[in-house]
Chain A
């Protein structure tokens, strides 16, 4: 019994990381109404960037991640303004093709630059510290930190979207870009700012991912799949839903691994499919 409880707790904590992957995707799907196929690859790209920063300067993982945040914001802003914005509003296919192409470019660029080796960033002992809370349940300090940061990110994004002027502008453009232009709100710039925020969530999740899990240049698509499942499970446009979606996937994987290790990933996908068939609009849909 204690073992089962422990597995569920571990699953919930993994769900925090999955929710973190998914949060930026949730924003771009919910606000800008497009799926960024390169989302996972961008996370991996920033993991490599953090790795390179650490190697070049000798600083720790946390400061390296913090240093990438402004880069991620500016990068997201310009990616949207000068590439993605050009194909938005021209049907669903062009934006998928462009981000798919971006995904291939990132993967091959990373292969060419860093090679195909599997990497990991050291968290300086942080990643192995454990809290024993009795009943056979051990909680890793790193997973717990990630989980708490994921919740803080949802709170921060929720506040930004629903309590600030920038959030009202983003929602206005999301509702109706043409009318936003009509009242003098330049939709392209507002979307670019939103993508900058998505970039920040990508850099944060890249920082945690690079400490907790191995990654290599082709690790992006599997992150995208997890993120996409979490977004769809939670319901489009709902950040809290995305967090719940990530937790459901994490717990499903943890329990699947109890049956057999090969069931770990499969269990997540099966649970996703079952919930998707029963509730295609997701658990907490906004639209």
Chain B
């Protein structure tokens, strides 16, 4: 099977600071790939490079057989890659529904419509006319995820979606991730919480100082081995 996303020798640097790479990795359709690594390992740089928002990147990023390395962020989004960014980054002066609508209008038509999103997140249905700044952190994360899903992407990138949320809310969000995968969408999850992240993943890559130092399937990998590579011991 051809990979949905195929990254070859990708490096990212900010001025003299080398943040990532070279790394190579693949993500298939209907597959959850987890990227783990300590702070500064290059996880967020990887996410930003895929959507064309990294400072300076080298290497090749192929999505559905097409080279998207040189495309603009907006073009990459329209090609079918949605990033749920770290810190959620909603549009604060827009209502819940307006935030979702932005994702819907610029995206492709597909399985996810407003009804599906409100069914997945009933809390949002009751608050659709509220400005997002009045929502709790968990509800804001639901809007961010919903905005990404409404674009009906083929690849969904989730950057630290559990950051700062209550465990019960995190459990809720992670219950939904496999449902999304089962619709044939490729998913990349970046988390610092290894347990949570590996529990849901089909495959994982562990980053250390900008390079992949361990990869495989969570089911075939010993936890101690993951921890050793995570900390570089």
Contacts and interface: CB of A to CB of B under 8 A. Distances in A.
The answer to whether A and B interact is yes
Contacts of A185: 74, 102, 106
A165 B89 contact: no
Contact of A184 (B78, B98, B99): B78
Interface stretch (A1-9, A136-144, A171-179, A220-228): A171-179
B74 A171 contact: no
A168 B101 contact: yes
A187 B51 CA distance: 15
Contacts, number: 64
Nearest to B48: A182
Interface residues of B, number: 26
A166 to B, nearest CB: 11
A204 B4 CA distance: 52
Name the prevailing secondary structure of the A interface residues: helix
B222 interface: no
Contacts of A181: 53, 72-74, 77
Most A CB contacts (10 A, CB to CB) among B73, B78, B105 go to B73
Interface string A149-180: 00000000000000001001101101110111
A172 B97 CA distance: 12
B151 A175 contact: no
B177 interface: no
A22 B24 CA distance: 54
Contacts of A169: 102, 105
Interface string B116-148: 000000000000000000000000000000011
Contacts of B53: 178, 181-182
B91 A179 contact: yes
A184 B92 contact: no
Given A181-B73, A183-B147, A171 B93 contact: yes
A175 B92 contact: yes
A123 interface: no
B73 A172 contact: no
A-B CB proximity, top 4 nearest:
A184-B77, A184-B106, A181-B73, A186-B74
Interface of B: 51, 53, 72-74, 77-78, 82-83, 85, 89, 91-94, 98-99, 101-103, 105-107, 147-148, 151
Given A168-B102, A180-B102, A185-B74, 18 more contacts: A168-B94, A169-B102, A171-B93, A171-B94, A172-B91, A172-B98, A172-B102, A175-B91, A178-B53, A178-B73, A179-B89, A181-B53, A181-B72, A181-B73, A183-B106, A184-B78, A184-B106, A184-B151
